[in-house]
Amino acid sequence: MTQQVVLSGTGLWNPPHTITNEELVAAYNAWAEKYNHTHADAIAAGEVEAKPFSSAEFIEKASGIKSRYAYIKDGILDVDRMRPRIPARADDALSDQAEIALHAAKAALKAANKQPEDIDAIIVSCAITQRSFPAIAIEVQEALGVKGFAFDMLVACSAATFGLHRAYEMVKAGTARAVLVINPELTSPLVNYTDRDSHFIFGDVATAAVIESAETCNSAEAFDIVSTKAVTQFSNNIRANFGYVNTSNDQDPASADMLFYQYGRKVFKEVCPMAAEHILEHIARHDLTPVDVKRWWLHQANINMNVLISKKILGRDPEPGEAPIVLDTYANTASAGSLIAFHLYKDGFNAGEYGLLCSFGAGYSIGSLVLQKR
């Protein structure tokens, strides 16, 4: 258990479609106006609450988000539908989630200078999978031609870091030479596009990373994984109730509480100090202080959370590029956010310099990795 484990390559795939705040607001406001007109009498009688209107300015101020990627744009902006129109595929066809996973996986393999035969395990780790079984990871394994084993794991917005943790442990223990961790975040089907406070939050994307021993690493750019740290604490403040039990509960699988919802103020108040404390404790294990860490690749949920957590860690506002923000164009991509930040902002390191990758989200769950440039 003494061999050095490295992150040797990452991949990023963006869907072909984007949706701006202005587009999203136009559709939502048209839907809200239609809803309020339809329920005018009940609203006047105090029996039904009128739907509030939104604005692009409100969204950007509240979240820092300006646009997001969408796997399928069709249907999301349709006032009579307000959800993506994703055609069903036959059982013998590649699933939507496996398809986007493969795009990121192939990019990560190329970056790591690896072939499918070099990989012993695949982990698909994301907020939600489109089916329970067979595992999306095993479907991807088959499509890539990888031998060995594969499995799915769900840890909401910390799924990517927790997946990297498991990969690190497998390589460290010698049970796998190299592990491909993929985060196909197909979030748009889980979004309630008729909820003013959350319809703008999420975007679709896929990321991937290769974890292997330093002995087998031959990529142009790699980071040693110095250590990992994780913590979970139960909270109901971020939730989605969709699952296979819904029909047995005689619940509508498309009802609002089956989709994503949160109590944002509570999340902000509770997660920010928890994440900052977690990060400071993690780097202290290695006698590091914030001054010793060159870059912070943080979860991309809300710009106000990122700014506050950065200030709690650093004792000041972060310098440009020190804690990079990508949610302005990607929105919240669940577990993929910190990996996107790493993928796009990992350049400029000298050998021996440190960075920290961290996620935080529903659960609550927090996962981090201390990385050192090789």
Alpha-carbon distance values, 147 to 4, 150, 215, 232 (Å): 24, 9, 21, 32
Cβ atoms of 83 and 193 within 8 Å: the answer is yes
Q: What is the CB-side half-sphere exposure of residue 103 using CA atoms within 13 A?
A: 17
Scan for tokens 């001054």, then name that residue.
291
Other CB atoms within 10 A of residue 4 CB:
15
Question: Per the structure block, which two tokens stand in for 173?
Answer: 């223990």
What does the block give as tokens for 361?
């989200």
Nearest in space to 335 (alpha carbons), one of 295, 373, 292, 365: 365
Say how far apart CA 21 and CA 65 lie, in whole Å: 8
From the list 126, 157, 217, 358, the catalytic residue is 157
Alpha-carbon gap, residue 219 to 7, rounded angstroms: 10
Residue 157 known to be catalytic: yes
Mode of pairing for the β-strands spanning 178-185 and 205-213: antiparallel
**123/159 Cα distance (integer angstroms):** 10
User: What values do phi and psi take at 214, rounded to 5?
Assistant: -60, -30
Burial degree of 316 (CB within 10 A; 0-12, 13-18, 19+) = exposed
Catalytic residues: 157
